[in-house]
Amino acid sequence: MASKHGVMMAFWQHLARRSLASAVVVAGAFGALSAQADGNSDGDTLVADLDSEQAPLESQPAASRSAPDIDLKEVAPPPAAAAEPASPDAGAKPLSDSIQPASAVEAPKITASFSLLGSDIRPGISTRLAWSPNIQIAGLSQPTPVLVVNGINPGPTLCLTSAIHGDELNGIEIVRRTLYDLDATKLSGRVVGVPIVNLPGFEQGSRYLPDRRDLNRHFPGSANGSLADRIAHSLFTQVINHCDMLVDIHTGSQKRTNLPQLRADMNNPDVAAFTLGFDRMAVVHSSGSPGMLRTAAVNAGIRAVTLEVGESHRIQEHQIEAGVNSLISLLEKQEMISRMFVWGAPEPVYYDSLWVRVDHGGILFSKVGLGDKVNKGDLMGHVTDPITNAQYPVRATRSGRLIGMAVDQVVMAGFAAYHLGTKPDSPEFHINGELDHADSAGRGESVEAVESGDDLIDNDG
């Protein structure tokens, strides 16, 4: 019994010694931490080390925030201009988890992140961003949505813009359908879409900006100029300068409608070659006027054309389908997508065009439609005087194809009613340098000659 009692006493003494040693260790550690908290040099070092670990995150510039991956087909609220930076893990599954290089072959090339409007868009995702020219009252500002599809594979950057004139609606739907139909995991390069550039004009159903200026006469703009200059400068520097190619979508203006067509400077070899990618789309040679977006883009080294489809204030399904089809063909031609695309018969290039004007006031009634071919002297319509009942015929002043026309309406003498495309040739004929534009004798009023002097007639919209 005594021996058993001695064993128990030895056991408890052993535990006490171990507990005392542990307490000393804990107390020492606690004392060290307390001393650091009281401001000794070791404590300063510890705090500095912790801060240094956070420094890379705090010093990360705002431009490098990661854009979220979203499904553009899903209904979502518009982006806020000052959205919180998204977590790098938000959205799609990380590429490192979903793409594994083959063991015996070279790993596929993956495009780099695309930086736009202060966000990094990772390859293989689609997202919505927000562009704001910062010209409104801060509390009333409304950012313009920008859609981006950044492909998984390297390639060029195509930009699509529409509604530079706020009453031109067909282009908005063309951009929406084109962007929402793209799969970022099968796309080479990237597509940037700005469906509504002139948001104030769109909200008011107006062609113009609130100051009554035409935005498409002020590119590339100025940071210190008029309202239109500032908006143009903001769009051009923040978005357009990131493009390799640009398609600016318009419609006819002021109760005029256009056959689906491209406006392009066919004297520029790069632009002329670019037009070959648009399926079933007539091309009207137009060097462009100063201040137009496509003119400024071409001057900046960007291949740019204007796509004209239909009339303003309307949504026209057949015109929209023609526009979407031409953009899909362009993506296929640029090897940005791979689809079984059936090309239609090539449309001609019209190296000259003219407007036929009416000689009397009254109500215009047309006998022809868009795309019709007419010969010189053919009846295209007549103007009826509602008071005297007199009718005045309107005849073609030259043979050509109707590429634009006014809808039936009240007109005044001198009104430009019918736009005829003349001097047609194949696009390849011009690209090979076989066409001479030097001789302009006998030409009618060109697109620029009429449209620059008459703001009612669409000059790129």
Give pLDDT, residue 425.
79
**pLDDT for the residue 64:** 61
pLDDT of residue 84: 39
Residue 193 near residue 179 (C-beta atoms within 8 A): yes
Q: Is the pLDDT of residue 78 over 90?
A: no
Provide, rounded to the nearest whole percent, the portion of the chain with pLDDT above 70. Answer: 70
When mean pLDDT is compared across 52-61, 186-195, 267-276, 294-303, the lowest value belongs to 52-61
Q: Report how far residue 263's alpha carbon sits from residue 370's, in angstroms, rounded to the nearest whole number.
A: 16
- Structural domains present in the chain: 62-88+108-333 (3.40.630.10), 351-425 (2.40.50.100)
Query: Given a cut of 90, is residue 35 above it in pLDDT?
Result: no
Report the pLDDT value the prediction gives residue 427, as an integer from 0 to 100: 59
**C-alpha torsion sign, points 407, 408, 414, 417:** positive
Rounded-to-integer distance, Cα 312 and Cα 247, Å: 18
pLDDT band at 254 (very low <50, low <70, confident <90, very high): confident
pLDDT at 168: 98
Among 235, 331, 236, 320, smallest CA distance to 278 is for 331
In sequence order, which residues have a C-beta less than 8 Å from that of residue 302 and are 6 or more positions away?
A: 240, 243, 244, 245, 246
Measured between alpha carbons, how far is 25 from 18 in angstroms, rounded to an integer? Answer: 11
Check whether 21 has a pLDDT greater than 90. Answer: no
**pLDDT over threshold 60, residue 213:** yes
